[in-house]
Amino acid sequence: MAYIPLDDRLPGMRALLAFRPEIAPALMELMQVVMRSNEGLSIGEREMIATYVSALNDCYNCHHIHGEIAQCFFEDRPNLLEQIKNDYSSAPISERLKSILNIAGTVQKSGKWVDSEQIDAAKALGVSDLEIHDTVLIAAMFCFFNRYIDGLGVVSNDTLESLKSRAKIMAEQGYH
Amino acid sequence: MAHIILTENLPGIRGLMAFRPQTAKPLNALAEVLLRSDEGLSKGERELIATYVSSLNDCFFCQNIHGAVAAYYFDEDLVKQVKADHSVADISDKLKALLNIAHRVQMGGKYVQEMQIQEARNAGATDLEIHDTVLIAAAFCMFNRYVDGLGTFAPDDAEMYKMRARKIAEETGYSNSKPN
């Protein structure tokens, strides 16, 4: 059970936003602006970064839902997100994307751990400043959301079916 | 030097906000709702939580700007005490218990256990105050990583932080603050 009284019919962060509606507009706008853009990183790549960081933080709610959302964008590789959670370095993704996940994984540990060597490696593979900025921001955002959800003891009532159907709607419609 | 080219020579998160105005808007709006409310926790208490978590994350810019805002509401000595060891600082038992929760959140959401929540409740913390504590602590695990993960610079000049803090507290808040 969660540490504060939440509506257990609502999944994950939705239950928290219903408890504290004042914060919902800013939080949802942040999600929408950062996650639902194809400028530089694609929406699928953004969701992949979110999934990877949430898996590192062991946030069950977040890595399951964002993993399913991300998977909607990689239909040609049906188990891609599971592979990335297990070991992205052997997953069938580009070296460019691996260098991006490498930065995201460091941000998960601490902002201070990001070093110029990994940034230079990403830049050498064609990653732009904007993509580096968005990678760091997304990884940092999920260090926030994961802590918010697990820090208040939010429990998941999802089944695989309910996850997949919610993910499909969010992949299509975003976070409005 | 920052990891990306920030054209305007602005410190900390301000350089990033100038680089990417689209994301600056919701980030500022978030800071505003997190920190500029006196419902349950006061503005000063919210800033103390932000400062404490930023200091645990060793984020120089965030702990100095939010420490300066917290000092605006309390005083510099109290902010120093909280950063050094909040368990002996001159603050209420309720705030100590909430800072214990914030510390757990900084380590990872899963480190928060029923025990810390119960201690906060016993000291008089409400559900809303517990919620806001977790939310603020978690949000600063984002802001700190954003600022340090992109290698932004932070000036050493205490007066700059003080001036900026007064402006935030008295005039602009966060939603109307401009990077420069």
ipTM attached to this prediction: 0.97
Mean pLDDT over the full length of chain B: 96
Residue carrying structure tokens 């000049």 = B157
Amino acid letter, residue B71? A
Instruction: Quote the number of domains for chain A.
Output: 1
Cα gap A41→A50, rounded to integer Å: 12
Kindly tell me if the per-residue pLDDT of B8 is higher than 90.
no
Give me the CATH topology for the region B42-172: AhpD-like (1.20.1290)
C-alpha distances in Å from residue A1, one per residue of A7, A99, A156, B55, B113: 11, 38, 10, 31, 12
Cα gap B4→A162, rounded to integer Å: 40
Kindly tell me if the per-residue pLDDT of B134 is higher than 90.
yes
Helix axes A129-151, A116-124, angle to 10 degrees: 130
Task: Pick from A107, A144, A175 the residue to mutate for testing the B interface (most B CBs within 10 Å).
Answer: A144
Q: Which of A95, A96, A97 is nearest to A81 (CA)?
A: A97
Q: Is residue A1 part of a domain?
A: no
Q: Is residue A11 part of a domain?
A: no
Kindly tell me if the per-residue pLDDT of B150 is higher than 90.
yes
Confidence at residue B180, expressed as pLDDT on a 0 to 100 scale: 63
pLDDT bracket for residue B178 (50, 70, 90): confident
B91 CA: distance to closest CA in chain A (Å)? 23
> Domain extents for chain B?
42-172
* Mean pLDDT of the region A143-169: 95
For B151, phi and psi rounded to 5 degrees?
65, 35
Q: Is residue A82 part of a domain?
A: yes
With an 8 Å Cβ cutoff, is B18 touching chain A?
A: no
* Mean pLDDT of the region B30-41: 97
pLDDT bracket for residue A81 (50, 70, 90): very high
A40 phi-psi bin (left φ>0, alpha ψ -120 to 50, beta other)? left
Confidence at residue B9, expressed as pLDDT on a 0 to 100 scale: 79
What tens digit of pLDDT does each residue of B153-177 get?
999 999 999 999 999 999 999 988 7
Q: Which of A27, A32, A25, A56 is nearest to A46 (CA)?
A: A32
Q: Is residue A22 part of a domain?
A: no
Query: Minimal Cα distance from A57: which residue of B?
Result: B108
Kindly tell me if the per-residue pLDDT of A76 is higher than 90.
yes
Confidence at residue A58, expressed as pLDDT on a 0 to 100 scale: 97
With an 8 Å Cβ cutoff, is B27 touching chain A?
A: yes
DSSP state of A73: T
**CATH code, domain with A85:** 1.20.1290.10
Q: Is residue A21 part of a domain?
A: no
* Mean pLDDT of the region B97-123: 98
Answer for the pair A17, A27: CB distance below 8 angstroms, yes or no. Answer: yes
* Mean pLDDT of the region B136-145: 98
With an 8 Å Cβ cutoff, is B122 touching chain A?
A: no
Q: Is residue A35 part of a domain?
A: no
Question: Which residues in chain A are closer than 8 Å to B27, comparing Cβ atoms?
Answer: 30
Kindly tell me if the per-residue pLDDT of A134 is higher than 70.
yes
Kindly tell me if the per-residue pLDDT of A103 is higher than 90.
yes
Give the residue numbers spanning the domain of A127: 40-173
